[in-house]
Structure 1
């Protein structure tokens, strides 16, 4: 049967791509994707978002001229990336390219009038989902896909930390976690972590004093110690003490790491947290900042503080927790004024509920970085945690209007 006459022509394309991808190197994946879609009369190009989430960069294909990057803020492809909504432009379909719910970029499919057919579009979406998963699985095996996402050389400390942190976005049936880490090519001591098992969501944010590799090593030690403790079944207090001991044992010359360690019960919304000398997270409810999580205070990690009260709060469905490092609030513009926690809260309220969590953070972080007169003076990290069923639905791709 000719592919064009098949009642569901994507079946052969999906099977073909699965077979082709088995032995494909990362640098060969774009060619295999295009080859699997070619029998349908379609031309497919992968565009990956760059590390700083400002441009969509095409993955090169053999014998095909590589198009120029597309600006996230100023293109139809960028709008698809930001809103996670597909869009059709004459004979061209733009699909959000996701690994689950982690935004990787967009998929460009050039075809014919079949792109106006809802059934055919559903096949395009399934094919796009497979491409997203394949990209995620191929990245660890080579450098080609990573290099596409980079506009310049990455520092040694950034290489270390980007290999340690989990994906920027996690979505389950009951919660959304999203984070952003800047400056992405020269990050020093900032980091974040999360894990969700059974009815508990663990999340944390870190900021080690200092810059470059020494700070990065401190954060790596802290994250490793806390993960080991968490996976052994330890509570928050024991996790913090494990980090204290690890810094003292392996990097005694480093001063400290500030952090927030938290556990959220996804059944009843009960939150327990420790704040180790870190800026207070903001609590957003119904789109408004209603306060800061300012309890559970102890000394920064590494200073061996045995006085460790644990803060507690009870969330309501739809509540958001915004965590940040001081590189966000201390961004200073030409006028000498700081970006500030009040301005951060104002922008968070403006975008609350209007945009998916990853896009909210991307805009917040870029707004803070735009304040710097020159290169950022410090790392800037944001993390947004939402306990909500509605937020989960907003993270799933949908057809554009």
Structure 2
């Protein structure tokens, strides 16, 4: 068959995939994707990135041997995941041609899609590759819509049991990456299987982008409950159109009423005017966010100080700064900079800023954070003693383009 110059088979394939998956359970999705790709002369395999973003793991199919996991570092599939750029692999020897595509829900990185060509399918044809990309986009959206209805897709991403606190917080937090025309938000949270009290949040409406990072004192489920209460209180206030100061006060009241035995939650609450670049923020006992501009650390954002959430602090004034296009705000919890090696040397703010500056503009925001977080965790002498959370917010049209799989980047 020849589909390279005929767009209609793709329309049929997309319609077939939508029909097949309407009533499919999460554990049936991979089989339905493969069935829809078959008439196009393609064998499709879905790979999802594991929770720690170190390997890509194949989604099992009925009656088909599951492929071995692929490392994110040092493989074609991993490069596709990191750069969100497709990669064709020509036929060689007994191996057929194949195409690796980034698997995305919008711009949230989920993994990679492998398409293996059979017959006279020409993966070098531009129109055919564009059809493959459209097919892959639909697969990414379908994965995101099916995840809440069962455990199969979640289990693919896990290499071990998750703690109760982690189960709670991962279900409460938004996706790790958000991209609009004017800004990019990305976050990462480790150790992902044993999160204590770290968390993050964001929301974009109209000309305002709200974002926040949290760290509740303590460990395990009790700390997770504190962060859950803070998240709920702040969201309730925000959705009632209250300002940052009122959101912080709502969190104070909620912790005092529902979890008085907890000590406190440190946090940064911020809102960015996406049209003018005006940033307002409150820092409730948290490490100061870092302002990066043109690959350089400009300064820490030290304004808007108040006591941690739960302790109450009336009369605080929000800090303000006006951003320039392309500016990045890096937020972090103390578990990142306090990581210590066997000699007792901490990872430190200077090292964090230096690594962030090195990768600024060179990598998409999610990949910058993935590398930063893994470098911080590798600094620990033994298992991490605290959560390590990073959030990167970029006010930039260029950053948005860099997040799209069709963006031309070297």
Give the TM interval when normalised to the shorter protein: over 0.9
Match of 2:62 in 1: 62
Contact 1:298/1:307 (<8 A) preserved: no
Match of 1:15 in 2: 15
Output aligned runs, 1:245-260, within 5 Å. 245-260=253-268
Which ranges in structure 1 are unaligned for 5 or more consecutive residues? none
Query: Equivalents in 1 of 2:42, 2:134: separation in Å?
Result: 15
Output aligned runs, 1:176-325, within 5 Å. 176-325=184-333
Contact 1:87/1:400 (<8 A) preserved: no
Query: Equivalents in 1 of 2:41, 2:300: separation in Å?
Result: 55
Contact 1:72/1:79 (<8 A) preserved: yes
RMSD across aligned C-alpha pairs, in angstroms? 1.2
- Change in Cα spacing, 1:167 to 1:68, as seen in structure 2 (3 Å) is same
Q: Aligned match of 2:373 in 365, 369, 375? A: 365
Q: Shift of the alpha carbon at 1:307? A: 3.1
Q: Shift of the alpha carbon at 1:69? A: 0.3
Query: Equivalents in 1 of 2:258, 2:316: separation in Å?
Result: 23
Match of 1:100 in 2: 106
Query: Equivalents in 2 of 1:352, 1:214: separation in Å?
Result: 36
Q: Shift of the alpha carbon at 1:375? A: 1.0
Match of 2:93 in 1: none
Contact 2:34/2:44 (<8 A) preserved: yes
- Cα distance per residue 1:371-390 (max 9 Å; x no partner): 11111000000000000000
Q: Shift of the alpha carbon at 1:40? A: 1.3
Q: Shift of the alpha carbon at 1:6? A: 7.4
Query: Equivalents in 2 of 1:28, 1:221: separation in Å?
Result: 36
The answer on 1:123 being equivalent to 2:122 is: no
SS of the aligned residue for 1:274 comes to: strand
Query: Equivalents in 2 of 1:57, 1:88: separation in Å?
Result: 20
Q: Shift of the alpha carbon at 1:215? A: 0.3
Query: Equivalents in 1 of 2:359, 2:342: separation in Å?
Result: 25
Output aligned runs, 1:347-358, within 5 Å. 347-358=355-366
TM-score, normalization by structure 2:
0.96
SS of the aligned residue for 2:375 comes to: helix
SS of the aligned residue for 1:116 comes to: coil
Contact 2:4/2:125 (<8 A) preserved: no
Query: Equivalents in 1 of 2:6, 2:379: separation in Å?
Result: 54
Contact 2:4/2:122 (<8 A) preserved: no
- Change in Cα spacing, 1:5 to 1:188, as seen in structure 2 (3 Å) is closer
Q: Aligned match of 1:139 in 125, 147, 160? A: 147
SS of the aligned residue for 2:122 comes to: helix
Query: Equivalents in 1 of 2:325, 2:5: separation in Å?
Result: 46
Query: Equivalents in 1 of 2:104, 2:233: separation in Å?
Result: 31
What is the count of residue pairs matched by the alignment? 400
Match of 2:87 in 1: 87
Query: Equivalents in 2 of 1:400, 1:223: separation in Å?
Result: 37
Query: Equivalents in 2 of 1:24, 1:6: separation in Å?
Result: 31
Q: Shift of the alpha carbon at 1:4? A: 4.3
Query: Equivalents in 1 of 2:4, 2:395: separation in Å?
Result: 46
Query: Equivalents in 2 of 1:70, 1:54: separation in Å?
Result: 9
The answer on 1:337 being equivalent to 2:336 is: no
TM-score, normalization by structure 1:
0.98
The answer on 1:110 being equivalent to 2:116 is: yes
- Change in Cα spacing, 1:393 to 1:6, as seen in structure 2 (3 Å) is closer
Contact 1:226/1:240 (<8 A) preserved: yes
Contact 2:5/2:127 (<8 A) preserved: no
Query: Equivalents in 2 of 1:80, 1:284: separation in Å?
Result: 27
The answer on 1:379 being equivalent to 2:387 is: yes
The answer on 1:154 being equivalent to 2:162 is: yes
- Change in Cα spacing, 1:243 to 1:400, as seen in structure 2 (3 Å) is closer
Deviates more, 1:3-12 or 1:80-89: 3-12
- Cα distance per residue 1:281-309 (max 9 Å; x no partner): 00000111110100000000000111312
Q: Which runs of 4+ in 1 moved over 3 A?
A: 2-6
Q: Shift of the alpha carbon at 1:121? A: 0.2
- Cα distance per residue 1:220-244 (max 9 Å; x no partner): 0000000000000100000000000
Query: Equivalents in 2 of 1:123, 1:319: separation in Å?
Result: 35
Q: Shift of the alpha carbon at 1:122? A: 0.2
Contact 1:86/1:400 (<8 A) preserved: no
